[in-house]
């Protein structure tokens, strides 16, 4: 049985449940609820959440007031270790929203710590943000439901950009070069109805890796 390692917040479970329900053969191993050893799983899902705790950022923080206060260092610590363990073992990785930022920082990248125009209420659930996407990208979406106040700045080791916000070039999708499947998306595929192909691609790789 494939096993998916993740740290999933209780309030996000309802969004992922429909996608998980299509694959009852996959065991969801939620590190928020119990001890999860990544080496005994088949892949890693990094989901959304509060800002990274400052101690995990690999850059100066000129104005700490721009950072959210409800950080979760325990989650961050587990996710950083999980990224390293997963990549060492060649596991598939899907990183969503804050998860993409964790993935980038874990590979040595930095973040734009506060941006404007990307956290309007309607952006969270509606596919209204236009993207500019590299023609080589496997997963291409014209418009997405992207809501965030931080973004990838300098890229981590081996990462390439696949999609940008069409209006201001904020990075919206990244991929680890020369790796079977490690994809980061700044938008929220779990909240939309157009992203089944992305999840199905990821889930199929769990089965191949179990």
pLDDT per residue as tens digits for the range 40-71: 999 999 999 999 999 999 899 999 999 999 99
Give, for 123, the enclosing helix (H) or strand (E). Answer: helix 121-125
Which residues have a catalytic role annotated? 97, 188, 190
pLDDT computed for residue 56 by the predictor? 96
pLDDT band at 14 (very low <50, low <70, confident <90, very high): very high
| pTM reported for the whole predicted model | 0.96
Shortest CA distance to 100 belongs to which of 167, 39, 141, 49? 49
pLDDT of 210 > 80? The answer is no
pLDDT digits (tens, 9 = 90+) for 117-156: 887 777 778 899 999 999 999 999 999 999 889 999 999 9
pLDDT computed for residue 122 by the predictor? 76
Q: What angle do CA 40, 44, 47 make, to 5 degrees?
A: 140
> What letter does residue 60 receive in the DSSP assignment?
-
Shortest CA distance to 89 belongs to which of 200, 1, 203, 5? 5
Question: Looking at 41-155, which runs of residues are DSSP E strands?
Answer: 43-46, 93-96, 111-112, 129-133, 143-144, 151-152
């Amino acid at each position: 049985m494939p096993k998916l390692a993740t740290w999933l917040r209780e309030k996000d479970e309802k969004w992922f449940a429909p996608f998980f329900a299509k694959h009852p053969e996959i065991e969801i191993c939620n590190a928020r609820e119990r001890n999860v050893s990544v080496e005994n799983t088949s892949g890693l899902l990094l989901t959304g959440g509060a800002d990274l705790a400052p101690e995990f950022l690999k850059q100066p923080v000129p104005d700490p007031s721009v950072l959210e206060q409800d950080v979760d260092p325990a989650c961050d610590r587990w996710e950083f270790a999980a990224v390293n363990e997963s990549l060492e073992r060649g596991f598939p990785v899907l990183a969503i929203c804050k998860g993409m930022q964790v993935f980038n920082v874990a590979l040595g990248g930095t973040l734009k710590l506060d941006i404007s125009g990307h956290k309007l209420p309607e952006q969270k659930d509606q596919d209204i943000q236009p993207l500019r996407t590299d023609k080589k990208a496997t997963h291409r979406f014209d418009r997405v439901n992207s809501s965030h106040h931080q973004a990838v700045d300098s890229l981590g080791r081996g990462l390439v950009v696949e999609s940008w916000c069409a209006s201001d070039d904020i990075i919206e999708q990244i991929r680890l070069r020369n790796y079977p499947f490690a994809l980061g998306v700044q938008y929220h595929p779990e909240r939309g109805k157009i992203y089944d192909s992305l999840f199905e691609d990821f889930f199929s790789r769990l089965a191949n890796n179990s």
